[in-house]
Amino acid sequence: MNQTVLNELAEYAAERVKRDMQRASKEELISRALSRQTGTFRFENALKKGGLSLICEIKKASPSKGVIDAAFPYIKIAQSYESGGADAVSCLTEPRWFMGSDEIFEEIRTAIRIPMLRKDFTVDDYQIYQAFLMGADAVLLICTLLDTRRLQSYLAVCDRLGITALVETHNEEEIKSALKAGARVIGVNNRNLKDFTVDISNAARLRERIPSDKIFVAESGVASLEDVNKLKNAGADAVLVGEFLMRSKEPAALLGQMRAI
C-alpha cells in the first residue's frame, strides 16, 4: 500500500527537480558548484571519532506520523542539538510529506557549525549539486530508488564535491549494491519505507554484512535510551535519531544522556 508513498515521493522529487531546472540548468549548477572550494568530507569524518556518533534529525512531519511538531522552532532545535553534543544534523528538505524546505536548511546552516546532511529523495544528480551549494556536507542516497550503476555515478559526484553520501539500505541485497557501488557510509533503516513497519533489530541483524572499514549508521525507530544502547552494542558507528528527539522538551539534555551510554 505504502509502496505508493515511496513512489510518489520519488515522482514528486523528480517534478521538483524539473521545476528547479527552469530557474537554473544542470550545466549552470555544475559550473557554480565546481567554481567553489570543494568540501572536506566533514560529515564522515565527524562519525569516525570512536564510540557511538549521533546524527540528529530535524523534521516537522513524516508520512508515517503526520505532523510531529506544529510549532517547529527549527533554529532553536538545531542549536540545542549542537549544544547537546550532536555530531551531525540531518535536515529534511522534502516539502510535501515532511514539510521541509531548502530555505529551512539554509537558515539552519548559517546558525550552526556541525556537519549537515540534506535529507531528500535523490533521484537526479542535480540534487547533489544543489545540496552542495546549500552548504550540505552530505546527501542521502536511497538504494530502493537507485540501481548500482546510478549509485556509483552519484557517489562519484559526491567525491568530486568533497561531500559524503549516506547510502541507505534496508536488506542484504541493497547492502550488496551499496558495497559494489563503493559506498563508505552505509545506513540500515529500521523502518521499511514500503510499509512503514519499524523493526529496531533490522540494523543489528544486518550488521555483519557490512565490512568494518565502512561507517555503519543505524537509522530510525529509536524510541528510548535502551534502544540507543542496543544499537551501540550491536556495533553501530552512529545512530540517526529523529522523532524521539523532536518530541523531547529538552533535546540537549536527552542528547547528553545518549552520549553517556
Ligand X SMILES: O=P(O)(O)OC[C@@H](O)[C@@H](O)c1c[nH]c2ccccc12
87 vs 219 by CB, closer to ligand X: 219
Hunting for cell 509502496 — which residue is that? 3
- Write down the least CB distance from residue 83 to ligand X, Å: 20
Any contact of residue 123 with ligand X (CB under 6 A)?
Answer: no
Q: Among 162, 154, 166, which residue's Cα sits nearest to residue 42?
A: 162
For the chain, the residue count is 261
Under rule CB under 6 A, which residues in 45-74 are in contact with ligand X? 57
Q: Which is nearer to ligand X, 118 or 184 (CB)?
A: 118
Measured from the Cβ of residue 247, the count of other Cβ atoms closer than 10 Å reads 13
Binding mask 225-254 for ligand X (x = CB under 6 A): ---------------xxxxx----------
Q: Which residue's beta carbon is nearest to the bound ligand X?
A: 242
Helix (H, G, I), strand (E, B) or coil at 239: strand
User: Burial level of 212, CB count in 10 A (0-12/13-18/19+)?
Assistant: exposed
Distance between CA atoms of residues 15 and 76, nearest Å: 31
Surface-to-core class of residue 196, CB atoms within 10 Å of its CB (0-12 exposed, 13-18 middle, 19+ buried): middle
Which CB, 28 or 226, lies closer to ligand X?
Answer: 226
**By rule CB under 6 A, what string of x and - marks binding of each residue 74-113 to ligand X?**
----------------------------------------
137 vs 219, beta carbon nearer ligand X: 219
What count of other Cβ atoms lies within 10 Å of the Cβ of residue 79? 16
Q: How many residues bind ligand X (CB under 6 A)?
A: 13
Q: How far apart are CA 255 and CA 219, in angstroms?
A: 16
Which residues are designated catalytic? 57, 59, 119, 168, 189, 219-220
Q: Cα–Cα distance between 151 and 131 in angstroms, integer?
A: 16
By CB under 6 A, is residue 222 in contact with ligand X?
yes
Shorter beta-carbon distance to ligand X: residue 24 or 252? 252
Find the shortest distance in angstroms from Cβ 114 to ligand X.
17
Query: Binding residues for ligand X, per CB under 6 A?
Result: 57, 119, 168, 189, 219-222, 240-244
